[in-house]
Structure 1
Amino acid sequence: MDYAYQLEAKQNIVAQALERIGGFTGVTVAPILAASNFLGYRNKATYPLARASARSAAETGQVQAGYYQKGSHQIVNLNQCPVQDVRLNPLLAEVKQDIQKRGWGIYDEKLHRGKLRHLGLRIGRRTGEMLLTLVVKDSNLVGIEEQAQEWLNRYPNLVGVSVNINPDRTNAILGSETHTIAGRAYLQEEFAGLTFQIRPDTFFQVHTEQAEALLQVILEELKLQGSEILVDAYCGIGTLTLPLAQRVRQAIAVDVQPAAVEQAKLNARLNHLENVTFQTGAVETVLPVLSVQPDIILVDPPRKGCDRSVLETLLQIHPEQIVYVSCNPATLARDLKILCADSTYSLTQVQPADFFPQTSHVECAAFLVRSPGFVSKPGAKESESEDAEIG
């Protein structure tokens, strides 16, 4: 599809979701932020592994890595991917051959047998540093130390090889354990003028340049004066928290994943940011017990959007501004409708950004301002009947 039409379609997706699901009319949907690089942009890709059907009983079949054909678990074998950073393509093509030579077993999801499940590749767009991760069913992979060192020697920009262990019968890609086999446990990246350490199993936006562009819009819209208290309620490794912390009096970072919080703390120290505090726990649990009243709360939930309890917590705390970053216009519109009910908040602007060219997905940042004269009712929640009606 022509890229200009992709952008037009995504702009319409956002506008229609706000109108049909959220019930908003007259809201400014800013022109979508187009990607300067709509091919070769992804800084991360994870490929399921399989074996091709053998032509005879004596053959085991070639190792394949690629993506699933739509509506199936049939792998389309790839040696390059048009949307991943082109510097990763040689690894995709060649690592499969190394796996073949090693004779490592490939996981069969139907039988729950075999070892290798996925191949993960990650790159720092600015630094060029790469990570290679093998997702395995168990840790017993004969010769992995020797092979990992061979990969480091072959690829100068490869800084670490890891194994992630996922023993479960599940569609989830990663398990809870990741072990560094050779090199470093992280790559280093430059983002918004700061230095970040990114591990194989931590979340970081896949389109670095577009994430920076959206951050710039957030900064322009908030018009920070340096006196604000800001809460990032889904902070991850601090991707948005730390650049914003440079422009406020105090930043508070919250995430339910302890590993992400530890990585965010490390990144704060790496950049000598001392006005950030960190809390581990669910948003709806941590926010009500904060010792300060935030002026701004930033939320960046997963595709399913915010749990109802999170929205109710936001309404009880009633910060002056809320920034809602979303990768799903439908759940964004649903949640904005709840936050703006009873004129509690006004939706002032929605900024779409094309984080995912060549796909139907679109990122957004929505900006809400507390309505003048609104008086909260501490501890007040909607009745069960109202809850059921919205649900």
Structure 2
Amino acid sequence: MPVTCTNYKLKCGGCPLLNQPYPDQLKRKQQLEQRLLGRFAPVSPVLGQAEPWHYRNKAIATFATGPRGRLTCGIYAAGTHRVLPYTDCLLQDTVINQTIAAVLEAARACRWPAFEEDRGTGLLRHVLVRRGKTSGQVLVVLVTAQENLPGSRNFVKALREKAPWVTSVVQNCNPRRTSAVLGSDVRTLYGPGKITDTLCGLQFAISPRSFYQVNPEQTEVLYAKAIEFAALTGKETVIDAYCGIGTIGLCAAGRAKQVIGVERNPDAVRNACANAAANKINNARFICADATDWMRAAAQPNSGLPHPDVVFLDPPREGSTPACMDAVVAMKPKRVVYVSCNPETLARDLTHLTRRGWKALKIQPVDMFPHTEHVETVVLLSKGGIDSNKVRVEFSLEDMDMSGFQKGATYEQIKEYVLEKHGLKVSSLYISQVKRKCGLDVGQNYNLSKKEDAKVPQCPPEKEAAIMEALKHFQMIS
């Protein structure tokens, strides 16, 4: 297919590999996986998608003031805050493309202004659209800078006239100056406020803030491989860490004795419980807790929790934590199935586990995000048959960055945590200032200038408090 996307030429950054033939993209991802992970186990060929177009079931567009003061919406140009006007995206579901266009027309009819970040004025920030691939249900989430939304009924009416397939409309209020799209306040304007979708034969409810894989076709490929690696016989206790709305755990529940899912997002946990009930799955339960904290507590000899036979680890892009993986090691499951969306942090985490006597047996990449740099990976690990104190691991320091384990957490992990937990963006400089106050090594890359007259901005109190809380979360301070 020739490249016909206008925004690709304008460097939107959403699909940087769009100009490469799809087989070449798979070859490129195979080489990446081999370079980063090949030393742990043989890397199977990447499982590509038969039709790698219009696969995304979720999209986010940002509102802005366009030419002649007219409301527009689109996506940011790569590395900027310049909004490129929305066009039909080749990666997004075609119905989602049509829905975003209808949202813009309805918002213009209501004469709603875009939120101006630099001035702190205006109303509309973003629109998030989700579509159930099997159900056809469409959820529109209108993100506003204030609770008051005058003319909301007129908006819903106008939107439904232009896009009658929309089944739910939700307002999400996010008044904070943050790069996070969604706030915590949600108000349903039309419909049930959520959608359903079928995955691996099970029905899942998806709310505005729930994590759900964006490529349902390849998700089934990914989950089938993960469950195959788990080798369940119906007798196993399974822990699903970072479980989200329970997708992997519930898909595996029919082949296990019991499933325990752990997730810190309360909305996702509520969805997971509802999903279990909707699918009449009685052998799965879900716990709202930070995965690291819960796994550490569960690994204690007197925890009273059942011994896991299989552990699924499906962490976010920054990977798991040393404490969480050490807890898994202490639990002594028969198998660990690690599902990763970032081969770099996966390589780091596999090194951590292999140094503790675990061995990667199988590595299967899955192309969940065609035309992008990203690739998903499933790894099967089991306990090695040798003394963990005598394990020898060979790896290239050029390929690995072990700073995350030398210091408890990397600067990027701290930034991600502070942004997600507090909605604040913090710099490496601010983190180093707080670490220095706590007597922690800041690393050679973050030392202050030796010039006496150097002007260095100081970390604001609210950001210092957030960074301190992050350091405690990563067990870097008590």
TM-score, normalised to structure 1, is 0.91
State the partner residue of 1:144. 152
State the partner residue of 1:204. 212
State the partner residue of 2:197. 189
SS across alignment from 1:12 = helix
SS across alignment from 1:79 = coil
- 2:319–2:342 contact (8 Å) kept in structure 1: yes
Unaligned runs of 5+ in 1: 55-60, 377-384
Whole-angstrom CA distance in 1 between matches of 2:332 and 2:175: 43
Cα displacement string for residues 227-253 of structure 1 (whole angstroms, at most 9, x for unaligned residues): 011000111111111010111001001
Aligned residue among 251, 259, 271 for 2:267:
259
Whole-angstrom CA distance in 2 between matches of 1:272 and 1:284: 29
Aligned residue among 352, 355, 373 for 1:338:
352
What does 1:11-30 align with in structure 2 at a 5 Å threshold?
Answer: 11-18=30-37, 24=39, 27-30=41-44
Aligned residue among 297, 310, 324 for 2:338:
324
Whole-angstrom CA distance in 1 between matches of 2:152 and 2:407: 56
What does 1:45-84 align with in structure 2 at a 5 Å threshold?
Answer: 45-54=59-68, 61-84=69-92
- 1:116 maps onto 2:129 in alignment: no
State the partner residue of 1:380. none
Tell me how far 1:349 sits from its aligned partner. 1.1
- Which range moves more in the overlay, 64-73 or 198-207? 64-73
State the partner residue of 1:356. 369
With over 3 angstroms needed to count, the CA separation of the structure-2 counterparts of 1:386 and 1:42, relative to structure 1, is closer
What is the one-letter code of the residue matched to 2:384? S
- 1:152–1:183 contact (8 Å) kept in structure 2: no
Q: Percent identity?
A: 34
- 2:102–2:163 contact (8 Å) kept in structure 1: no
Whole-angstrom CA distance in 2 between matches of 1:386 and 1:64: 41
SS across alignment from 2:182 = coil
What does 1:210-225 align with in structure 2 at a 5 Å threshold?
Answer: 210-225=218-233
State the partner residue of 1:310. 324
Tell me how far 1:40 sits from its aligned partner. 0.3
Cα displacement string for residues 74-124 of structure 1 (whole angstroms, at most 9, x for unaligned residues): 111113211000112222222212212211121111222211000111101
Tell me how far 1:310 sits from its aligned partner. 1.2
With over 3 angstroms needed to count, the CA separation of the structure-2 counterparts of 1:70 and 1:149, relative to structure 1, is same
- 1:149–1:182 contact (8 Å) kept in structure 2: no
Whole-angstrom CA distance in 1 between matches of 2:109 and 2:254: 50
Tell me how far 1:70 sits from its aligned partner. 1.3
Whole-angstrom CA distance in 2 between matches of 1:52 and 1:7: 38
Whole-angstrom CA distance in 1 between matches of 2:202 and 2:125: 34
What is the one-letter code of the residue matched to 1:188? T
- 2:226–2:339 contact (8 Å) kept in structure 1: no
Aligned residue among 102, 105, 119 for 1:97:
105
- 2:265–2:288 contact (8 Å) kept in structure 1: yes
Tell me how far 1:373 sits from its aligned partner. 5.3
What is the one-letter code of the residue matched to 2:229? E
What is the one-letter code of the residue matched to 1:18? L
State the partner residue of 1:166. 174
Q: Across the two proteins, how many residue pairs are aligned to each other?
A: 371
Whole-angstrom CA distance in 1 between matches of 2:405 and 2:110: 57
Tell me how far 1:374 sits from its aligned partner. 5.3
State the partner residue of 1:295. 309
Cα displacement string for residues 110-166 of structure 1 (whole angstroms, at most 9, x for unaligned residues): 222211000111101111110111111111111112321332354332110001111
- 1:65–1:77 contact (8 Å) kept in structure 2: yes
Cα displacement string for residues 243-266 of structure 1 (whole angstroms, at most 9, x for unaligned residues): 101110010011111221111000
Aligned residue among 17, 25, 29 for 1:10:
29
Unaligned runs of 5+ in 2: 1-19, 390-402, 410-478
Question: Whose relative contact order is higher, 1 or 2, with alpha carbons under 8 Å and at least 6 apart?
Answer: 1
What is the one-letter code of the residue matched to 2:369? F
Whole-angstrom CA distance in 2 between matches of 1:375 and 1:277: 33
Whole-angstrom CA distance in 1 between matches of 2:347 and 2:128: 33
Whole-angstrom CA distance in 2 between matches of 1:151 and 1:9: 42
With over 3 angstroms needed to count, the CA separation of the structure-2 counterparts of 1:99 and 1:387, relative to structure 1, is closer
SS across alignment from 1:11 = helix
Whole-angstrom CA distance in 2 between matches of 1:127 and 1:16: 40
- 1:371 maps onto 2:384 in alignment: yes
State the partner residue of 2:187. 179
State the partner residue of 2:394. none
- 2:262–2:289 contact (8 Å) kept in structure 1: yes
State the partner residue of 2:432. none
SS across alignment from 2:67 = coil
State the partner residue of 1:38. 52
SS across alignment from 2:25 = helix
Whole-angstrom CA distance in 1 between matches of 2:29 and 2:237: 33
What is the one-letter code of the residue matched to 1:359? T
Cα displacement string for residues 320-376 of structure 1 (whole angstroms, at most 9, x for unaligned residues): 11111111110010011001104x111011111111111111111111011235589
- 1:244 maps onto 2:252 in alignment: yes
Whole-angstrom CA distance in 2 between matches of 1:73 and 1:150: 29
Whole-angstrom CA distance in 2 between matches of 1:340 and 1:114: 52
Alpha-carbon RMSD: 1.9
SS across alignment from 2:45 = coil
Cα displacement string for residues 187-207 of structure 1 (whole angstroms, at most 9, x for unaligned residues): 111110011111122110000
